[in-house]
């Protein structure tokens, strides 16, 4: 039985070669992704709209538990090649969190070299996604670990990526997803000033009414998930009861981002990660 809340699913690349072993954390196979979409559709899930989502976060509105949000990070060509058609065929849309410095280029960072037969999207392809109802939002300019940056660099990452997307698409960018899920209080402080209204982490759990708008949860999906573990994540928000317990303890301890930063500075092996 599904627990209340909206599952916000976090994907990266779609791999038609059934996923290169070294890319397991950043890809799902085309076979698996298709099965995910078909199952959600059969179970009566529909895409949550931006308006519905904002009512849930800002006004605590309760909506159907058969809502889902697909999100993709970075900006792989395989999203245009595979994900767009599969999602559209089943009535779903998605949000793409885009790292803008790589657009139209091969990936150069080590993270992205793992998916050797993929590449970065071009602006023409991104415009097609946008025209088909995808929301294109920011994942930073350089895909840096945001907690390693000084104030000026944080402002650049937030502002430059936002302005580039807005100039190329003519749309509003007011959502951010932290690269690697990593953030600290300095980053959170700069988000409103840069024009962002919401930000997504990779905290486990479903998105509930009144969720913290700058630390919204997402459920990571990759090729280490079989169909049963995918169903568990969608219906509960967590990979396992142990994951749920640890996540809820973390949410309590890290309620204050200042406290979170202090804990992670002095006890880096505390056990909850810098997410």
pLDDT band at 106 (very low <50, low <70, confident <90, very high): low
Residue 236 reports pLDDT greater than 90: yes
CATH domain 8-266 topology: TIM Barrel (3.20.20)
Span 175-227, pLDDT tens digits: 999 999 999 999 999 999 999 999 999 999 999 999 999 999 999 998 889 99
- CA 126, 38, 11, 15 torsion: positive or negative? negative
**pLDDT of amino acid 190:** 97
Q: How many CA atoms lie within 13 A of 74 on its CB side?
A: 24
More confidently predicted of 13 and 130 = 130
Span 9-41, pLDDT tens digits: 999 999 876 545 545 567 898 999 999 999 999
Q: Where are the domains of the chain?
A: 8-266
Q: Quote the CA–CA distance of 167 and 27 in Å, as a whole number.
A: 29
For 241-255, what is the mean pLDDT? 90
Its pTM stands at 0.92
For the chain, helix (H) and strand (E) counts, in that order, are 11, 10
Q: Quote the CA–CA distance of 9 and 2 in Å, as a whole number.
A: 15
Q: Quote the CA–CA distance of 34 and 31 in Å, as a whole number.
A: 5
Largest interatomic CA distance in the chain? 50
pLDDT band at 272 (very low <50, low <70, confident <90, very high): low
Nearest by Cα to 145 from 136, 154, 137: 154
Span 51-84, pLDDT tens digits: 999 999 999 998 888 999 999 999 999 999 999 9
């Amino acid at each position: 039985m599904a627990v209340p809340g909206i599952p916000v699913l976090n994907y990266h690349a779609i791999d038609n070669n059934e996923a290169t072993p070294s890319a397991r954390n950043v890809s799902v196979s085309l076979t698996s992704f298709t099965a995910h979409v078909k199952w959600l559709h059969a179970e009566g899930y529909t895409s949550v709209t931006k308006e519905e989502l904002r009512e849930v976060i800002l006004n605590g509105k309760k909506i159907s538990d058969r809502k889902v949000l697909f999100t993709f990070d970075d900006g792989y060509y395989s999203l245009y090649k595979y994900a767009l058609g599969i999602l559209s065929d089943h009535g779903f849309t998605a949000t793409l969190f885009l790292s803008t410095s790589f657009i139209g280029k091969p990936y150069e960072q080590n993270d992205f070299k793992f998916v050797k037969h993929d590449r970065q999207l071009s602006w023409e392809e991104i415009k097609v996604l946008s025209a088909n109802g995808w929301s294109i939002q920011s994942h930073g300019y350089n895909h840096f670990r945001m907690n390693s940056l000084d104030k000026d660099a944080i402002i650049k990452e937030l502002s430059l990526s936002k302005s580039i997307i807005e100039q190329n698409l003519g749309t509003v960018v007011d959502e951010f997803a932290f690269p690697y899920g990593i953030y600290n209080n300095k980053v959170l402080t700069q988000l409103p000033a840069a024009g962002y209204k919401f930000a997504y982490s990779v905290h486990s759990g479903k998105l509930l009414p009144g969720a913290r708008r700058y630390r919204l949860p997402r459920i990571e999906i990759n090729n280490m998930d079989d169909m049963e573990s995918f169903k568990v994540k969608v219906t509960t928000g967590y990979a396992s009861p142990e994951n749920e317990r640890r996540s809820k303890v973390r949410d309590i301890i890290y309620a204050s981002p200042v406290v979170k930063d202090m804990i992670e500075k002095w006890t880096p092996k505390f056990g909850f990660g810098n997410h």
